[in-house]
Amino acid sequence: MKFTLGIEEEYQVIDPITRELVSHDQQIVMNASKVLNDQVKAEMHQAVVEVGTNICNDIQDAREQITHLRKSISTFAGELGYKIGAAGTHPFSKWETQLITPNPRYHEIIDELQDTARSNLIFGLHVHVGMEDKNMAMHLVNAMRYFLPHLYALSTNSPFWEGRNTGFKSFRSKVFDKFPRTGIPGVFNSYAQYENYVNLLVKTKCIDNPKKIWWDIRIHPVFPTIEVRICDVPLTVDETICIAALIQALVAKLHKLRSQNLNFMNYHRALINENKWRAGRYGIDGKMIDFGLEKEVETKLLMREFVDFVDDVLDELGSRKEVEYVFEILKNGTGADRQLKVFEETNDLIKVVDFITEQTILGL
């Protein structure tokens, strides 16, 4: 198995004078698409630009591609007088003032979801891992659910919302929770059972296509991939690549166990949600529940155990260095921790935005 990768990142378009989110009227997308083709696209809000890699053969390929995309979008934005930022929420811009991209699909979503859609001014990281076999993919998705809060804690990068320190390390998922069909999915015993669920939703006009299932992890409705959607977009390329490598390693490890006829426990969504809540509130600084031991454990210790768990597949994947960057994040803090540190030192959200835009292109 190759466990190919795909990475999508959503960036903020920022006015360098006011530091507010600003509509770029799709100019960045139009200019960039001449070079990047369909690797860049518009999102519902005009202050968002989304990029996606092509299929990456390994984590080094993924790093090259995401570096190239960040650098290119930053350059195109700069030429038009904008900056880009990679954080799960903007520190102070108000969703109420943001323009919506004219597109029948977005207008249809807003017509149905109203203010939950209009206020959905958030920026995520989506990581795809190639998996052709749908039944195997379903099995892996069930098992991977347990690890979603760990990945989420590592990616936390949205402590501010509409000018307030929310007290959360990631407020992004609190905003997204207002959407239907979000969060940690339940267990499906087979891909056929999942298909029946999707077909019922389509038949009863809950959705018109499976893309409107926005869970934290899903079997992608079009590509032969497992897609992890829980993470905030990280500040730096190094963090994005670390998280993508960890997700790839997790898929490879659980696939290996399954191939040896071994299973990872499936835990109830209600339990996993307890850890997701803690991850959003405290990031890597809190405790999460170890369901096997039935006790609280420091999140940082659980992260080290996570790296140990996937250790035996890292050399085969060639991603040891990238996965072990987890220890750097544990030492230096997540994007949220670093944003909060700037705010603590300056008491100025403008300085926080400047920090975000600097980190987004750091080392490119």
**74 near 14, Cβ under 8 Å?**
no
Q: How many angstroms separate the most distant Cα atoms in the chain?
A: 58
Q: Which of 62, 64, 207 is nearest to 128 (CA)?
A: 62
The letter for the amino acid at 296 is E
254 Cα distance to chain centroid: 21
User: 117 pLDDT band (50/70/90 cuts)?
Assistant: confident
Sign of CA dihedral 291, 295, 296, 297: negative
Q: How far is CA 312 from CA 28, 141, 240, 262, in A?
A: 42, 20, 22, 15
Sorted by where each starts, the structural domains of the chain and their CATH numbers stand as 5-356 (3.30.590.20)
Tokens at 100, concatenated: 């919506």
Q: What is the pLDDT of residue 178?
A: 86
Q: What is the per-residue pLDDT across 343-353, written as a single tens digit (0 to 9) for each?
A: 999 999 999 99
Tokens at 19, concatenated: 């530091």
Tokens at 170, concatenated: 């990631």
Q: What percentage of residues in the chain have a pLDDT greater than 90?
A: 87
**235 near 356, Cβ under 8 Å?**
yes
56-70 mean pLDDT: 98
Q: How far is CA 16 from CA 126, 213, 225, 341, in A?
A: 27, 35, 37, 22
Q: What is the pLDDT of residue 44?
A: 86
User: 100 pLDDT band (50/70/90 cuts)?
Assistant: confident
Q: How far is CA 95 from CA 14, 101, 118, 237, in A?
A: 14, 14, 7, 26
> Where are the extended beta strands (E) located within the chain?
5-14, 40-42, 48-52, 83-85, 124-130, 160-161, 164-165, 182-183, 214-215, 217-219, 225-232, 287-290, 295-298
CA dist., res. 335 & res. 232, Å (int): 9
Q: Are strands 182-183 and 214-215 parallel, antiparallel or unpaired?
A: parallel
20-38 mean pLDDT: 94
Sign of CA dihedral 203, 206, 210, 216: negative
> Where are the extended beta strands (E) located within 46-102?
48-52, 83-85
Q: Which of 294, 299, 214, 303 is nearest to 250 (CA)?
A: 303
Statement: residue 206 has pLDDT above 90:
yes
Q: Which of 218, 209, 215, 229 is nearest to 105 (CA)?
A: 209
Q: What is the pLDDT of residue 104?
A: 83
User: 111 pLDDT band (50/70/90 cuts)?
Assistant: confident
- Residues paired with residue 183 on neighbouring β-strands, in sequence order: 215
Q: What is the per-residue pLDDT across 235-286, written as a single tens digit (0 to 9) for each?
A: 999 999 999 999 999 999 999 999 999 989 899 999 999 999 999 999 999 9
Statement: residue 115 has pLDDT above 90:
no
Q: What is the pLDDT of residue 105?
A: 82
217-230 mean pLDDT: 96
Statement: residue 179 has pLDDT above 90:
no
Q: What is the pLDDT of residue 43?
A: 87
Statement: residue 25 has pLDDT above 90:
no
- The 8-class DSSP code of residue 361 comes to T
Statement: residue 116 has pLDDT above 90:
no
Q: What is the pLDDT of residue 107?
A: 83
